[in-house]
Each structure stands twice: as structure tokens, then as C-alpha cells.
Amino acid sequence: MRQAVIAGNWKMHMTCAEARAYAAAFLPLLGELPGDREVVLAPPFTAISALSEALAGSAVRIASQNVHWDDVGAYTGMISAPMLLEHGVSHTIVGHSEPRKYYSETDEQINLRARTAQKSGMIPILCVGESDSQREAGEAERVIRRQVDQGLEGLDPTQLVVAYEPIWAIGTGKTCGAEEANRLCGLIRGWVGYDDVIIQYGGSVKAENIDLLMAQPDIDGVLVGGASLDPAGFARIARYQVPVAA
């Protein structure tokens, strides 16, 4: 049985003070979780340390929003794996569509980041997904397959999360239908070639659609942007309930 990974990506939101206040509100709302799921929060780099301290003793894990492929060097503005490990970071998001778009990240660079994460003992959350125009042109599967093949080269699929995030569903309120998201997650599972790889869906996930998404057999978790900024909403997402089959 695959353990679900429910992750919140705060993007460029939350100061240290806000992160501490979030943790104080979130932990009591989260309560004890069933062992079938893991909860991860990805604050901006500057709030990692404060959040890590505020969550100490809880089961909530910390992800970074990216990682450089070298441990040290002349890379202005970058953060390396040893710097993250020092603060208890266990996961790292790589290949998100925002750095792909705004900073022209390539599949090759994303693969280097993911390899470095695994070598350092972190779990990469590798994001893939097609744009609106690629979907309309019937190219979604080809684009995602390329991102999977190149992004995962040389990686250990047992220490990995893949997040299927259709770009047109990110921050738009347009969630991909649960069955269509499940279909793509199933295709990705086949391309990875490891049945137990954890595959998340991301894109306008909220309290109102989480139960339906998590009821899909190939969706093993979610990567949540906007709705993870509200502790009550994200606690509800983490406490998703899947109807028991009769």
C-alpha cells in the first residue's frame, strides 16, 4: 500500500513570524493522522528554519522549493542540499512549472537537482505537466512523457514523488477532473515503470475536491498551492476521507 503524500507549497508567501503563527494554528487542527499519509510543508527558504523549529516533535515534514545540484560554489542566489539538511528538510520540489517558465529551467537541470536530492538523502518531488496550448494541440502526453523520461533519468523510483500538475490548473481555480487526473497519473506510473512510485496531483486542490481526488486509485497525494496557505483549509485537506468501498 502506497503512503499518500499531502504537500503544501507556499511559494513566495510567509515570513518567519507568519510561519510560526501558521504552525501554532495548524498542528492542533491537524491532530493525529492515520498512518496511511504523510504531510509536508514547503515554505520559502527564509522561513525553513523557523517552521522547522515550530513543527519539531510533530509528524509534519519540511520540503524546500528547489535545490542546487552542487554542494558549494559560485552560484549567487542558490541554496544547496547540505544547507537544507541542516534544517531538517526531507523533501525538495524540483521541476515546478514556475521555475521552468520564469527561469527557463531545463529537464537536464531538473534531473541534476533531483539526483543531488536523492544522493543527499532527500526525496525529490518532481513536477511535470502540460500547458493549456499543449493540451489543446493534443500534445499533453508527449510533453509529460518527455519530462518524465528526462527528469527521472538515473533516479531511484523508490525514493521519489512525481507531481502531475497541469499548468492550466495551477492557481486558476480550474481543477483537472478527478478521472482525467487519475488517467494521467496512471500513464506516468507506467512510464516510470515502478508500480509503487508515489504520484501526486496538483492544481487548484482545495477542501472541496480533495476527497474525490484521493478516491482515485492512481492519485497518491496532492501538491497544494493557494489552499495550503490557510491552516484550517490545509488541515482539512490533510484529513481527507475516502469513502470505504462497500
Q: Which residues bind ligand 13P (CB under 6 A)?
A: 9, 96, 165, 170-171, 202-205, 223-227
Active-site position among 98, 105, 130, 165: 165
Closest residue to ligand 13P, based on beta-carbon distance: 225
Q: Tell me, what amino acid is at 65? A: Q
180 classed as catalytic: no
| Nearest CB to ligand 13P, comparing residues 30 and 224 | 224
| Nearest CB to ligand 13P, comparing residues 57 and 124 | 124
At its nearest, how many Å lie between ligand 13P and the CB of residue 32? 26
At its nearest, how many Å lie between ligand 13P and the CB of residue 39? 15
Distance from C-alpha of 69 to C-alpha of 54, rounded to nearest angstrom: 28
- 10 Å CB burial of residue 217 (0-12, 13-18, 19+) is exposed
Residues of 123-155 as b/e, b for ≥16 C-beta within 10 angstroms?
bbbbbbbbbeebbeeeebbebbeebbeebbeeb
Active-site position among 68, 91, 96, 130: 96
Residues pairing with 221 in the sheet: 5
Residues of 68-85 as b/e, b for ≥16 C-beta within 10 angstroms?
bbeeeeeeeeebbbebbe
| Nearest CB to ligand 13P, comparing residues 64 and 204 | 204
Tell me which DSSP letter residue 216 carries.
S
87 classed as catalytic: no
Q: Which three cell numbers stand for residue 1?
A: 500500500
At its nearest, how many Å lie between ligand 13P and the CB of residue 73? 27
Distance from C-alpha of 34 to C-alpha of 16, rounded to nearest angstrom: 29
| Nearest CB to ligand 13P, comparing residues 151 and 203 | 203
At its nearest, how many Å lie between ligand 13P and the CB of residue 224? 5
| Nearest CB to ligand 13P, comparing residues 101 and 119 | 101
- Strands 4-9 and 37-42, bridge-based pairing: parallel
Helix, strand, coil share of the chain (percent; to 5):
40, 15, 40
At its nearest, how many Å lie between ligand 13P and the CB of residue 246? 32
Q: Name the residues annotated as catalytic.
A: 96, 165
